[in-house]
With several copies, the nearest count.
Chain A
Amino acid sequence: MKLVTAVIKPFKLDDVKAALEVLGIQGLTVSEVQGFGRQRGHTEVYRGAEYTVDLVPKVRIDVLVDDFDADKVVDAVVEAARTGKIGDGKVWVTGVDTLVRVRTGERDADAV
Chain B
Amino acid sequence: MSHLLLAADSVKLDSGNTAWMLTSAALVLLMTPGLAFFYGGMVRSKSVLNMLMMNFICIAVVGVLWVIYGFSLAFGNPHLGGLIGGSHQLFGLGNPDVLGGFWSSAGVPILVFAMFQLMFAIITPALISGAVADRTKFWGWTLFVALWLTVVYLPVANWVFGTGWILNKLNAEDFAGGTAVHTNAGAAGLALAIVLGKRVGWRKDPMKPHNVPFVLLGASLLWFGWYGFNAGSEGAADNIAGLAFTTTTVATCAGVLGWLLVEQLRDGKPTTVGAASGAVAGLVAITPACAFVSPLGAIAIGLIAGALCAMAVGLKYRFGFDDSLDVVGVHLVGGVTGTVLIGFFGFDHGYATPGGLQRGLFYGGGLDLLEKQVVAAVSVMLYSFILTFVIGTALKRLGVFRVSEEAEVSGIDEAEHAETAYSFSTVLSGGLSGQASGAGAGASPTTREKVDA
Residues of B contacting A13 with CB < 8 Å? 427, 432-434, 437
B435 and A50 contact, CB distance less than 8 A: no
B430 and A47 contact, CB distance less than 8 A: no
Q: Is A104 an interface residue (CB 8 A)?
A: no
CB distance from A5 to the nearest CB of B (A): 16
Q: Is B352 an interface residue (CB 8 A)?
A: no
How far is A14 from B206 in the complex, measured between Cα atoms in Å? Answer: 12
A51 and B433 contact, CB distance less than 8 A: no
B438 and A46 contact, CB distance less than 8 A: no
How far is A2 from B93 in the complex, measured between Cα atoms in Å? Answer: 74
Would you list which residues of chain A between 44 and 69 have a CB under 8 Å from chain B? 44-55, 57, 59
What size tier do the contact residues of chain B reach? Answer: 35 or more
A residues sitting closer than 8 Å to B (CB atoms) are 10-14, 17, 30, 32, 34, 36, 41-55, 57, 59
The A contact surface, by secondary structure, is strand
How far is A46 from B108 in the complex, measured between Cα atoms in Å? Answer: 43
Residues of B contacting A44 with CB < 8 Å? 208, 414, 418-420, 436
A to B CB contacts below 8 Å, 29 in the list = A10-B426, A11-B409, A11-B431, A11-B432, A13-B437, A34-B435, A45-B418, A46-B419, A47-B274, A47-B277, A47-B313, A47-B314, A48-B310, A48-B447, A49-B439, A49-B450, A50-B442, A50-B446, A50-B450, A51-B208, A51-B436, A51-B443, A52-B436, A53-B436, A53-B438, A55-B434, A55-B435, A55-B437, A57-B430
CB distance from B201 to the nearest CB of A (A): 9
A48 and B419 contact, CB distance less than 8 A: no
CB distance from A33 to the nearest CB of B (A): 10
A11 and B434 contact, CB distance less than 8 A: no
Residues of B contacting A10 with CB < 8 Å? 426-427, 430, 432-433
A45-B267, A51-B438, A52-B438 known, 5 other contacts, Cβ within 8 Å: A10-B426, A17-B434, A49-B443, A50-B267, A51-B436
B residues sitting closer than 8 Å to A (CB atoms) are 206, 208-209, 263, 266-267, 269, 271, 273-274, 277, 310, 313-314, 317, 326, 409-410, 414, 418-420, 425-427, 430-440, 442-443, 446-447, 450-451
Residues of A contacting B420 with CB < 8 Å? 44, 53
CB within 8 Å for A45 and B439 given contacts A11-B432, A13-B434:
no
CB distance from B85 to the nearest CB of A (A): 38
A14 and B269 contact, CB distance less than 8 A: no
Which of A11, A36, A46, A54 has the largest number of chain B CB atoms within 10 A?
A46
Residues of B contacting A17 with CB < 8 Å? 434, 437
Nearest A-chain residue to B451, judged by Cβ: A48
CB distance from B151 to the nearest CB of A (A): 31
CB within 8 Å for A34 and B434 given contacts A10-B427, A46-B208, A49-B450:
yes
A32 and B425 contact, CB distance less than 8 A: yes
